[in-house]
Amino acid sequence: MKLLVAIVLALTVTSVTAQSLGQLLIEAEQGDAQAQNSLGFRYLFGEGVPQNSQEAVKWYRLAAEQGNADAQLNLGTSYTKGEGVPQNPQEAVKWYRLAAEQGNADAQLNLGTSYSKGEGVPQNDSIAYVWYSVAAAQGGNDAAAARDSRRAKLSPAELEQAQALATKCFESKFKNCD
């Protein structure tokens, strides 16, 4: 009986996954940005499809060009890591910035890291602090610790300026942050 239940459950999950994947592909091909981003994720990690980072980037780009912030973050990450595209820090920053300006806290964290390390942009601890601060204010992963590490590198005057810019950034809905 247990074996029969396990077989039925496995067939049901496989059927639902195949059906869901088919629907996702249809929606992605029809231009649905969220479906395109989800399909890119599946290709990146090989979930229900063969793992293919180039195909993941194709779908991320289609969604990112429509303004999908999660896809912009994912495309930026692909450029940072060199997954499916040649590693390109400047291109990564371009996509992180687009997502960060839409309020994506993870993109804000990644943009702060780019400024902190000087990858794709000139190294700037004050601007890194600004992006880490707005990400932390939204509950971004690890952003508060990153902000605090940048704080230690700033003089009192630089910190005061960075805090004022972070406030301006947050109040402008992430448009005036550099």
Q: Is the pLDDT at 69 greater than 90, yes or no?
A: yes
With b meaning 16 or more CB within 10 Å and e meaning fewer, what string describes 111-135? bbbbbbeebbbeebbbbbbbbbbbb
Contacts of 22 (CB under 8 A, 6+ apart): none
Q: What pLDDT is attached to residue 17?
A: 52
With 0-12 / 13-18 / 19 or more C-beta atoms within 10 angstroms meaning exposed / middle / buried, residue 137 is middle
Q: What pLDDT is attached to residue 73?
A: 98
Residue 89 neighbours by CB distance under 10 Å? 16
For the whole prediction, is pTM greater than 0.75?
A: yes
What's the DSSP call for residue 139?
Answer: T
Q: Is the pLDDT at 113 greater than 60, yes or no?
A: yes
Q: What pLDDT is attached to residue 9?
A: 30
Per-residue pLDDT tens for 10-63? 332 333 355 489 999 999 999 999 999 999 999 999 999 999 999 999 999 999
Distances (CA, A) of 11 to 1, 2, 58, 116: 15, 14, 31, 49
Domains and CATH numbers, the chain: 28-102 (1.25.40.10), 105-173 (no CATH)
